[in-house]
A and B are shown apart, each in its own frame.
Chain A
Amino acid sequence: MVEPIDGGAVAARMPVLARLAREFATDRPLAGRRVAAALNVTPEATALVRVLLAGAAEVLVVSSKPTTFDPAAAEAMGRLGARVLPGPDTAKEVLAFAPDLVVDNGSVAELWAAEPDPPAVVGGTVHSQHALGRVRRAGRLPFPLYTVTESAVKTTVETAHGTGQAALRGLIDAGVQIAGKRVLVVGFGVTGRAVADYLRGCHARVAVAEVAPVPLLQAVHLGFEVVGLTTGLATADVVVTVTDAERVLDLDHLRLLPDGAVLGGIGHAATEIDRAGLAAAADRVDPVPGGRRYRLAGRHLTLLEGAGGNHVFAGINPPELMDLSLALHALCLARLASTGPPPAGLHPVPAEVDARVARTKLAVLGLAGVLP
């Protein structure tokens, strides 16, 4: 009997994982393996947990962040047969679980680096740019991790297009008419480029501010106006920050914005836009759709927020795209379990794994025939 899954609407948008769940149930590639997965406890992650369990793993889910913890999803994971640790303070239990395989948000690597004699781990995966930074800073990594966050499928399809669409959605949810607006995109990495591209596609007038010359030159050649940050801020109707840095827009920057400007942050750092400084300096704060409106020296600025007051306003990556990277995790773990793991350290996702996920996605789109 097929287990009913919660978050049905989400699961229906994750056909690659659904297909993998069927294949894993037959092949049982994770039989006898203990998997510790540090995940945002969401309906999307439930679809991954279901695949791991179908592959016959014993699964311990460690909640990545309290802000993204969805109790209904935790319950669904539990019903499927996983143990869920809501956190915080999960270190002891994770060590005691002695996982063979891990899906890491950086916390496992930190734990294993700090522990004098941690249990042996076969290997695992690491899922965000932020997590990768934590792993790198953690020091000696005693097991191999595949960097799912840097895979071709994840960067060129999921991150770029998922966040491009999510940014538009966040702005439109907040009642912004995009066409004709002067939008300043701050940061032109993989994600900033997609955000700029999607906004231009909806007929915004997009300018780009960057600190690095190579992405800036690329922006020039993609036809974007490039500006200095202070110049760009002075004429922006909308500002979106998409950097990997902290304190990109401080209070002095915010004072440059024209009345009525709308701002949103996408970078992982909560301090990318100085929200605390703005809140302290504002003489009035009102809730508005999608965020808060601040009155600062007679001008009104709307700062967008994600669900639960998250500093990332465009956090809702479509499940259709998360389907891809979560499938990469499942296949990387299966590969670690079946073939000899690579040496300890960080490794790119094997090209065959990327290709298999892409192939499966094309197949569910009815496009298997385009490949030889």
Chain B
Amino acid sequence: MTTTDTHPTPAAGSTAAPPTDPPSTDAARSGARPSASATARLRLAWRQMPVLAALRRQVRADRPLLGVPVAAAMHVSTETAHLMVTLKDAGARLLLHPSNLGTLDPAAVAELRRRAIRVNLPDTGSAPLTEQLAAFRPRLLTDNGTLLTACADVPELAGDLLGATVHSRNAERTARALAAAGRLPVPVIPVADSVLKSAVETPAGTGQSTVHALVRATGVQLGGKRAVVVGYGTAGTGIARYLQAMRCRVTVVDTSAVACLRALADGHAVGALDTVLAEADIVVVATGTRQVVTDRHLDLLPDGVLLGNIGHYPDAIDVPALTRAADRVTALGGGVHEYLLAGRSVFLLGEGSQLNHVCAGGNSSETMDLTLSLHVLCLLHLVRRPDDLVPGLNPLPDSFSETVARAKLRALGHVA
């Protein structure tokens, strides 16, 4: 364990804005060749995505996106690389804009480059995004909100678009706002609305990866620990269940009475944040809102507590306040920083950004197979059935979730 006095730089408020100099981009910047084990890991991840792999075989034959320019804004991971390669095999031309340089996977970047898929990194042409889009003229988007916003500002870009798929609630909100303002007259399909995301990917994927991240980053023995889960929505419910399975004693904090009642019925304790922090060994914020753990909570955090956030906004935990209050901040490696607050140590995971991504590589490839496959089906739908779609948000057809679930069951050896 190293002891240094470096102060961590909290990730920026917008996922589109890169945090300053995150270590994991070094390999990508230097263009270093990934190690054999990195390539093997990438191949393993792709094997674990049998639904997407089957779609890829199909589109490789049909080429349904031949010559169609597709711009994507997402985390650059082995899984999204598999999506990009699938779209490329479908005939698309691609521009991938990383959601967050802090979560960039060098092996994925190298693989994409090897396949001549353009990744918009600071070292490759630093033109502003709108200029790049103006040159690329995308017809389809797979978006976190960044691209829709950029295209909405440029009439000829918006005019080119056949439509977009969006993968997060935040992107969905962006799309809804743009459509309401009349700024985006194209159909958008929100993949996050799929029951596969709420019933499988988030509870199982984020539940497992959060528990994994806690163990991997800190070595904590979870059994018997008092864990506080703040926010008992889709993600928080899964996290609480996995913590409970690891024999933590879970207490849930939520501002919604319905969510609290659900937590109670699921066998968890419930409490108010101010009262439960003092007893906590672990605190995971899963509200998806900002400023949840703030300076007024800092005195309540007990010595040794592990603290982190899995929600979208990196300022759910007020890291600048934590930094100001700390006598010393020590980077422990693995995405963990120790903050010394008046003799108490607070261990922050992931610098306030989604800790399961920073400390454990995010949701499993096996679960992401589901939603990434839905993106493919939706993109093909946008091209093939424009007349079935209206400008603005369109419901994700239920049959797509059924199709993907059936393919997944088959791949897992269960006949549906």
Contacts and interface: CB of A to CB of B under 8 A. Distances in A.
Interface of A: 152-153, 156-157, 160-161, 212-214, 216-218, 220-222, 226, 228, 354-356, 358-359, 361-362, 365, 367, 369-372
Interface stretch (B25-33, B38-46, B332-340, B407-415): B407-415
Contacts of B270: 362, 367, 370
B211 interface: no
A213 B261 contact: no
Interface in B393-416: 401-402, 405-406, 408-409, 412, 414-416
A214 B258 contact: no
B261 A358 contact: yes
Nearest to A221: B204
A361 B260 CA distance: 10
Interface stretch (B13-21, B192-200, B216-224): B192-200
A367 B260 contact: yes
B414 A226 contact: yes
Contact of B196 (A152, A214, A226): A214
Main secondary structure of the interface of A (DSSP, over half): helix
B243 to A, nearest CB: 16
B133 to A, nearest CB: 36
A358 B253 CA distance: 14
29 contacts: A153-B258, A156-B258, A157-B261, A157-B262, A161-B265, A212-B402, A213-B416, A214-B195, A214-B405, A216-B416, A217-B199, A217-B200, A217-B416, A220-B414, A221-B203, A221-B367, A226-B414, A228-B415, A358-B261, A359-B257, A361-B261, A362-B261, A362-B270, A367-B260, A370-B253, A370-B270, A371-B255, A371-B272, A372-B255
Contacts of A214: 195-196, 199, 401-402, 405
Given A216-B405, A358-B257, A369-B275, 6 more contacts: A156-B258, A214-B401, A217-B405, A362-B260, A365-B264, A370-B253
A123 B114 CA distance: 64
A173 B272 CA distance: 39
Given A217-B409, A228-B415, A372-B272, A355 B204 contact: no
A262 B260 CA distance: 36
B256 interface: yes
Contacts of A369: 272, 275
B200 A221 contact: yes
Interface in B180-222: 195-196, 199-200, 203-204
Contacts of A157: 261-262, 265
Given A228-B415, A361-B261, A217 B196 contact: yes
B69 interface: no
Contacts of B271: 370
Contacts of A228: 415
A59 B261 CA distance: 31
Nearest to A158: B265
Interface string B62-88: 000000000000000000000000000
B260 A213 contact: no
Interface of B: 195-196, 199-200, 203-204, 253, 255-258, 260-262, 264-265, 270-272, 275, 367, 401-402, 405-406, 408-409, 412, 414-416
Nearest to A197: B266
Contacts of B256: 355, 358
A213 B412 CA distance: 12
Main secondary structure of the interface of B (DSSP, over half): helix
A213 B415 CA distance: 9
A156 B262 contact: yes
Nearest to B241: A222
Contacts of A367: 260, 264, 270
| Most chain B beta-carbon neighbours within 10 Å: one of A212, A214, A354, A367 | A214
Nearest to A372: B255
A218 B414 contact: no
Contacts of B253: 370
Contacts of A371: 255, 257, 260, 272
B126 to A, nearest CB: 42
B411 to A, nearest CB: 11
Contacts of B402: 212-214
A182 B412 CA distance: 22
Contacts of A355: 256-258
A157 B237 CA distance: 14
| Most chain A beta-carbon neighbours within 10 Å: one of B203, B253, B409, B412 | B409
A220 B411 CA distance: 12
A228 B406 CA distance: 14
Contacts of B408: 217
Contacts of A153: 258, 261
Contacts of B401: 214
Nearest to B255: A372
B214 to A, nearest CB: 20
A370 B260 CA distance: 8
B264 A213 contact: no
Nearest to B414: A226
Contacts of A222: 204
Given A214-B196, A367-B270, A372-B272, A354 B258 contact: yes
Given A212-B402, A214-B402, A371-B255, A220 B260 contact: no
Contacts of B264: 365, 367
A52 B196 CA distance: 41
A370 B409 contact: no
B147 to A, nearest CB: 29
A160 B266 CA distance: 10
B399 to A, nearest CB: 11
Contacts of B415: 228
Contacts of B412: 220
Leading 4 A-B pairs by shortest Cβ distance: A358-B257, A213-B405, A359-B257, A213-B406
A220 to B, nearest CB: 6
Nearest to B272: A370
